[in-house]
Amino acid sequence: NAGVTQTPKFRVLKTGQSMTLLCAQDMNHEYMYWYRQDPGMGLRLIHYSVGEGTTAKGEVPDGYNVSRLKKQNFLLGLESAAPSQTSVYFCASSYSGGRFEQYFGPGTRLTVT
């Protein structure tokens, strides 16, 4: 079991460029999440999905889009990167919401110059 994997691990973008972060899980989890982590701010939820083909906005969705075409994959897109999107991005998955543990990927460090 690989658990939750994220690609790429590191990326540097110029302002205005676009990119897609890929998250994959092999635990057959229904729920998947994208967070960003910034110093002193903890983890903030960007978007999440409660099942294949469904997505919903989290706390800080502006500037990001997501897709969940397959149950095991959750993609996070930045259409026009801005320096404020410099952050570490974590993907997580869980069997369901509420009481169920979330399993995290190793993170993607994104720098936008």
Partner 1 sequence: AQSVTQLDSQVPVFEEAPVELRCNYSSSVSVYLFWYVQYPNQGLQLLLKYLSGSTLVKGINGFEAEFNKSQTSFHLRKPSVHISDTAEYFCAVSKSFQKLVFGTGTRLLVSP
Token pair in block for residue 1: 């079991």
Compute CA distances 83 → 5, 50, 86, 111, 112, whole Å: 25, 30, 6, 7, 5
Q: Which among 17-25, 36-44, 64-72, 73-81 is the span making contact with partner 1, rule CB under 8 A?
A: 36-44
In whole angstroms, the minimum distance from the beta carbon of 92 to partner 1 comes to 8
Q: Which one of residues 20, 45, 63, 72 is an interface residue with partner 1 (CB under 8 A)?
A: 45
Q: Which one of residues 12, 27, 41, 82 is an interface residue with partner 1 (CB under 8 A)?
A: 41
End-to-end CA distance of the chain: give it in Å, rounded. 36
- The residue type of 20 is T
Q: Smaller CB distance to partner 1: residue 11 or 17?
A: 11
The candidate with the shortest Cα–Cα distance to 81, out of 93, 65, 58, is 65
Per-residue mark of binding to partner 1, 60-99 (x: CB under 8 A): ------------------------------x-x---xxxx
